[in-house]
Amino acid sequence: MLEPRFGGGVLLLWLLLVPRMVESAIGVNWGTISSHRLKPTTVVALLRQNKISKVKLFEADSDVMKALMGSAIQVMVGIPNEMLPLLSSSPAAADLWVRQNVSVYVGRGGADIRYVAVGNEPFLSSYNGQYQNLIMPAILNIQQSLVKANLAGYIKLVVPCNADAYQSSALPSQGTFRPELTQIMSQLVQFLNSNGSPFVVNIYPFLSLYNNGDFPQEYAFFEGTTHAVQDGSNVYTNAFEGNYDTLVAALTKLGYGQMPIVIGEIGWPSDGAIGANITAAKVFNQGLINHIASNKGTPLRPNAPPTDVYLFSLLDEGAKSTLPGNFERHWGIFSFDGQAKYPLNLLLGNKELKNARNVEYLPSRWCVANPSGDLNDVVNHIRLACSVADCTTLNYGGSCNEIGEKGNISYAFNSYYQLQMQDSRSCNFDGLGMVTFLDPSVGDCHFLVGVTDKGSDSSTSQTMAPSHQWWTLVLLLILHGTFLLSM
User: Which sequence positions are flagged as catalytic?
Assistant: 121, 265
DSSP per residue, 318-386: TTS--SS-GGGG---SB-TTS-BSS----SSS-SSPPPPSS--BPPS-EEEE-TTS-GGG-HHHHHHHH
**Contact indicator for 73, 44 with CB cutoff of 8 Å:** yes
Give me the helix-helix angle, 379-388 and 405-419, nearest 10°: 40
Alpha helices in 389-464 (DSSP H): 405-419, 459-463
Strand partners, 76: 56, 115
DSSP per residue, 26-73: EEEEE----SSPPPHHHHHHHHHHTT--EEEESS--HHHHHHHTTS--
Q: How many CA atoms lie within 13 A of 54 on its CB side?
A: 24
Distance CA 310, CA 300 (A): 21
Distance CA 267, CA 311 (A): 6
Which of 7, 30, 102 is closest to 331 using CA atoms?
Answer: 30
